[in-house]
Amino acid sequence: MSTNTQHPVTTSSYSTRAEKATHPLSEYLFRLMSIKHSNLCLSADVSTANQLLHLADTIGPSIVVLKTHYDLINNWDYHPTTGTGSKLARLARRHGFLIFEDRKFGDIGNTVQLQYTEGSARIIEWSHITNVNMIPGKAVVDSLHGAAVRWREKKKYEVKTDISVGTPRAESVNEEYDSEDGAAKMPVPEENGSGSALDAYVHARDGRKASIVSVTTVSQHFEPANSPRNWENLDEEDEVLYPGIEGAPLERGLLLLAQMSSKGNFMTADYTNACVESAREHKSYVMGFISQESLNSEPEDMFMSMTPGCQLPPEEDDENAPIEGDGKGQQYNTPRKLIGMMGSDVVIVGRGIIKAANPRAEAERYRRSAWEAYEGRITA
């Protein structure tokens, strides 16, 4: 058993940890976990948007985090309000989970800032959480944190644009004509500060009245950032299945890639310790780690750990039965070991659910196993 599992937060309930969390998304996630009785993350490594959205909708009730690789999706729709990211945000709100883009940023600070906030994907707009490989050094976390702060400041108020197209009143069609050349006099727009009307006329010398093609009014106004945001694309008929919890905070969170489950990886103890030090320097942005165990060691540490490489043996086998790797370097452990013995908070499961004959039922089996491991840990 890891010595870090003796840290006080390891035996604290998720609801208690929500009260003490230093990051808004951590607080929200711990509350979600308590409400849904779930500490399961689905790794949705699929290749089409339809597959991704179907999994999010089908497995959503069983999970608290959906992990994506947007660059695996061969038909990702990048539209900011109707695209794949927006649709995922709708499903996240409906089913109660956070979106985690497993980007593993690993470049110089300026580059990762642009990869995070710009480009076609604009990850920061739709993904609540992302992660970083610390190999470039602590500056990469500084840069991402700075980008997240600036993005959040811009979101204090959002510009809403309303566009209406319609047919004007009949009296507005009766144009006045100049007595000398028959040309229609163009109406003067009212100076009301709310926009202008664009009138298109078809003029004929034979005295026929001009006809209006369209009237378009464009107005802009500001709304507080805590109002429903267009990237969520929520409709009135959308049913929120977990009304006991509000939408996720607008803040963004970061996980540091501190340990990996792949055989022979180069993440040494010194590297892992450097990740922990960087997390302590950025508590308002770093939620925790991708790791194989809890990395809380100092009394004030409140970080969460999410752990990949989780798999259950077939249902008819004992859960303690040995589990083979995938032949590609991935090594597996059960929820009982990762949650109960190593002190992890969230287990990440991909192929074990996706490749199952009944993914929905298998997700529930993983959820129950991981939750039971957590309950055993805090009551031991």
pLDDT tens for the chain, 380 residues long, are 344 557 899 999 999 999 999 999 999 999 999 999 999 999 999 999 999 999 999 999 999 999 999 999 999 999 988 999 999 999 999 999 999 999 999 999 999 999 999 988 999 999 999 999 999 999 999 999 999 999 999 886 544 444 444 444 444 434 443 444 444 443 444 444 444 333 333 344 444 444 444 444 444 434 343 333 444 445 545 678 777 788 999 999 999 999 987 777 788 999 999 999 999 999 999 999 999 999 999 999 999 999 999 999 887 565 665 566 555 555 679 999 999 999 999 999 999 999 999 999 999 999 999 999 999 999 97
Query: What length is written for the chain?
Result: 380
- Torsion angles phi and psi, residue 101, rounded to 5: -85, 115
Whether residue 299 is found in the same domain as residue 203 = no
Query: Among 184, 201, 224, which residue terminates a domain?
Result: 224
- The CATH number linked to 350 is 3.20.20.70
20 as an active site residue: the answer is no
- Residue type at 134? M
Is 220 annotated in some ligand binding site? no
Is 351 annotated in some ligand binding site? yes
Whether residue 36 is found in the same domain as residue 180 = no
Catalytic one of 36, 87, 102, 199: 102
Whether residue 76 is found in the same domain as residue 168 = no
Question: What's the pLDDT score for residue 317?
Answer: 61
Beta bridge partners of 161: 220
- Buried-exposed string 168-191: b where 16+ CB fall within 10 A, e elsewhere: eeeeeeebeeeeeeeeeeeeeeee
Rounded CA separation 319/232 (Å): 39
Whether residue 12 is found in the same domain as residue 98 = yes
End-to-end, the C-alpha distance of the chain in Å comes to: 14
Rounded CA separation 130/153 (Å): 19
Interhelix angle 49-59/84-95, rounded to 10 degrees, is 10
Catalytic one of 20, 57, 87, 104: 104
3-class secondary-structure state, position 156: coil
Query: Among 173, 194, 224, which residue terminates a domain?
Result: 224
Query: In terms of DSSP H, where are the helices of the chain?
Result: 14-20, 24-36, 49-59, 84-95, 109-117, 123-126, 139-154, 269-281, 335, 351-354, 359-379
Whether residue 19 is found in the same domain as residue 88 = yes
Cβ(305)–Cβ(346) below 8 Å: yes
Whether residue 244 is found in the same domain as residue 331 = yes
Q: Is the alpha carbon torsion for 113, 114, 118, 123 positive or negative? A: negative
Question: What's the pLDDT score for residue 52?
Answer: 98
209 as an active site residue: the answer is no
283 as an active site residue: the answer is no
3-class secondary-structure state, position 173: helix
Whether residue 137 is found in the same domain as residue 265 = yes
Catalytic one of 20, 57, 77, 107: 107
Rounded CA separation 98/322 (Å): 31
Is 57 annotated in some ligand binding site? no
* Residue 267, C-beta contacts closer than 8 angstroms, at least 6 positions apart: 257, 258, 259, 260
Distances in Å between the Cα of 374 and the Cα atoms of 10, 40, 101, 303, 346 are: 9, 11, 25, 16, 10
* Residue 376, C-beta contacts closer than 8 angstroms, at least 6 positions apart: 336, 340
Whether residue 17 is found in the same domain as residue 138 = yes
3-class secondary-structure state, position 331: coil
Whether residue 97 is found in the same domain as residue 242 = yes
- 94 closest CA partner among 232, 286, 212: 232
Question: What's the pLDDT score for residue 316?
Answer: 59
Is 350 annotated in some ligand binding site? yes
3-class secondary-structure state, position 121: coil
Query: Among 224, 256, 272, which residue terminates a domain?
Result: 224
Rounded CA separation 184/287 (Å): 65
DSSP-derived secondary structure letter, 330? B
Whether residue 307 is found in the same domain as residue 362 = yes
Rounded CA separation 300/331 (Å): 32
Whether residue 202 is found in the same domain as residue 324 = no
* Residue 200, C-beta contacts closer than 8 angstroms, at least 6 positions apart: 212, 213, 214
pTM: 0.77
Question: What's the pLDDT score for residue 246?
Answer: 86
The structure tokens 């009785």 sit at 37
Report the domain count for the chain: 2
> Which phi-psi region, left, alpha or beta, contains residue 104 (left: φ > 0; alpha: ψ -120 to 50)?
left
Cβ(97)–Cβ(63) below 8 Å: yes
Is 67 annotated in some ligand binding site? yes
Is 60 annotated in some ligand binding site? no
Question: What's the pLDDT score for residue 330?
Answer: 55
- Residue 180 is part of which domain span? 158-224
- 339 closest CA partner among 302, 303, 294: 294
- Residue type at 377? R
Whether residue 243 is found in the same domain as residue 290 = yes
